[in-house]
Amino acid sequence: MPANLTTLAHFLGLAGNEHSEVGGRVAKTAPPRSAIRSFVLGRRHNGRPITLGSPRYGSVLANTQLGWMRSKSVRHPISGVAMCSLRLFIFTVLAAWPIAAHTAPLNPEEAASHVGENAAVCGLVASARYAAQATAAPTFLDFGRPYPNQSFTAIIFGGDRTKFGAPEISLSEKQICVTGKIFLYEGKPKIILRDPKQISGR
C-alpha cells in the first residue's frame, strides 16, 4: 500500500489491527488493504462497491472517522467563528452588489434603464422648484430639460432641506452628479437626496 494510504489507514484505525470493535461487539476482521484502498478511492472491490452498508466491512468502516465524514446523514462541522466570518462575507457582498451594479455615471436619459440600481446620474439641472406648500415640501431638481419635460429628477424632501440650503437657487443651471437608488414614479426616473454628500460637481 502506498505510504499515503498506509498513513490514512492507521489514522482511521483500519490497519495493524486484526479486530475492530463496533457497537460493543468485535468484528471478525478489519478490512484488508485492498478494501481500504477501494473505500478511500471510491472504487469497486472484488467486483462490488465498498460502502457503509457493505455486510462484511461496512460496519467497521462506518465506525471510523472516514466513515463519519462520508456518511450522508452527518454534515461536516463548521466552527462558530468560521460561520460568523462566512455570514459577514455574504452580507458584505450582498450589500455592495447594488452599488457595484453600475459604477459608470449615467446621463439623465439613461437613468430610466437602470431602475432599482444605485448609480450616479450626471447632467444639467435644467429647472429647480421648491414646492413649499405641497405635502412633504419637496424640492425638485429636473435634469435634461425643464419641467414638465425633464428626463430625470432628484428630490429633496422638506425634512432634509436645511442640510442643502436653498438648492433650487444654488444648483439651478449647474452641471452636477447625484448618487442614489433610482426608482420610477409617474413614468419618470428619480433619486431621493437625503445627504449633501450625494451631490458632487461634474
6-32 pLDDT tens trace: 444 454 454 444 444 445 454 445 566
CA 3 to chain centre: 42
* Dist. CA 27–CA 54, nearest whole Å: 13
What is the value of pTM for the model shown? Answer: 0.51
Q: Determine whether 143 is exposed, middle or buried from the number of CB atoms within 10 Å of its CB (0-12, 13-18, 19+).
A: buried
CATH no., domain 108-201: 2.40.50.140
Domain positions in the chain are: 3-70, 108-201
**Low-confidence residues of the chain: pLDDT under 70:** 1-102, 202
